[in-house]
């Protein structure tokens, strides 16, 4: 358990850096999403080759579902980061765990507990507070917040697809490697038709994209996946809630995005609601 705890914390920090890399990138949000996975895929395949190379397992349709879901997640999140604050975008994207339980409730009739419903109410109250602060952030803040909620829906789809693949025997490294590669394939035509500049201007631009791919995507996702396999679910859920907190603090210090009092209160309410919902989740 000891190596898994630092992996959880460091992985959450790596992923928290992703909106910072997106903001610092000199390419558009769709193109940065493409390079995020395209540059990470070779590194992940190299790691898979030098590992024990377990036999490939898992359902091909589920791999496609996971990749499609992750494609939507990245596109909508990267655009959300452009329109609203890093804090709001990251917090709203973390509503995915609530959407997972709601989907399970609707499709599999697994009724949520009272604790989940209380958590859902608290999270929604926090969302309203965050939306109110977006009116002061920029004229496009509300659009960014809406895109953050859509991001959470796509990530919930991704989580459910990953769960299905893990239940069918897919290993963590194989799962991340294949889904990342397929996501790059899906994002390539979107990047081409987006009208955005496809290549960064120089060494700085490439360094930002490599950081996004290797630090946030490969290292962050890999460390989180490793820690989740070795830590209790409840403990991991609380640890992962550090991600939006770290992202907000980094955005405050590096990007000059101050946190308003109502935004801090709303963020705390969202995190508390997510924590309660996860504790009371029947999924």
Q: What is the mean pLDDT of residues 145-167?
A: 88
* Predicted model pTM: 0.88
Nearest alpha-carbon partner for 229 in 280, 279, 172: 172
Token pair listed for 155: 């990530």
pLDDT tens-digit map of 55-96:
555 578 889 999 999 999 999 999 999 998 888 898 888 888
In the predicted structure, residue 111 carries a pLDDT above the cut 80:
no
pLDDT category at 283 given cuts 50, 70, 90 is very low
For residue 124, give every residue at least 6 positions away whose Cβ sits within 8 Å of its Cβ, in sequence order, or none: 273
- Other CB atoms within 10 A of residue 131 CB: 18
In the predicted structure, residue 207 carries a pLDDT above the cut 80:
yes
Nearest alpha-carbon partner for 72 in 155, 189, 176, 196: 155
Q: Say if residues 190 and 75 touch (Cβ distance below 8 Å).
A: yes
In the predicted structure, residue 281 carries a pLDDT above the cut 80:
no
Residue ranges per domain, the chain? 4-95+140-253
């Amino acid at each position: 358990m000891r190596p898994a705890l630092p992996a959880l914390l460091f992985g959450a920090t790596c992923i928290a850096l992703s909106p910072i890399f997106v903001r610092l990138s000199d390419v558009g949000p769709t193109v940065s999403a493409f390079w995020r996975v395209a540059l990470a895929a070779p590194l992940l395949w190299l790691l898979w080759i030098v590992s024990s190379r377990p036999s490939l397992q898992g359902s091909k349709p589920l791999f496609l579902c996971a990749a499609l879901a992750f494609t939507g997640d990245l596109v909508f999140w990267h655009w959300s980061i452009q329109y609203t604050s890093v804090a709001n975008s990251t917090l709203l994207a973390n509503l995915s765990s609530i959407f997972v339980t709601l989907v399970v409730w609707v499709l599999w009739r697994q009724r949520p507990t009272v604790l989940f419903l209380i958590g859902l109410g608290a999270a929604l109250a926090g969302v309203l507070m965050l939306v109110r602060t977006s009116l002061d952030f920029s004229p496009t803040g509300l659009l960014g917040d809406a895109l953050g909620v859509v991001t959470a829906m796509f990530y919930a789809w991704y989580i459910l697809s990953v769960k299905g693949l893990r239940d069918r025997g897919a290993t963590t490294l194989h799962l991340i490697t294949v889904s990342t590669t397929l996501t790059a394939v899906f994002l390539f035509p979107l990047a081409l038709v987006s009208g955005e500049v496809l290549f960064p201007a120089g060494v700085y631009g490439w360094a930002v994209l490599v950081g996004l791919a290797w630090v946030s995507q490969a290292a962050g996702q890999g460390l989180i996946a490793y820690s989740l396999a070795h830590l209790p679910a409840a403990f991991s859920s609380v640890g992962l809630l550090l991600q939006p907190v770290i992202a907000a603090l980094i955005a405050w210090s590096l990007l000059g995005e101050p946190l308003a009092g109502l935004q801090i209160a709303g963020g705390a309410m969202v995190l508390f609601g997510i924590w309660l919902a996860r504790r009371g989740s029947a999924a």
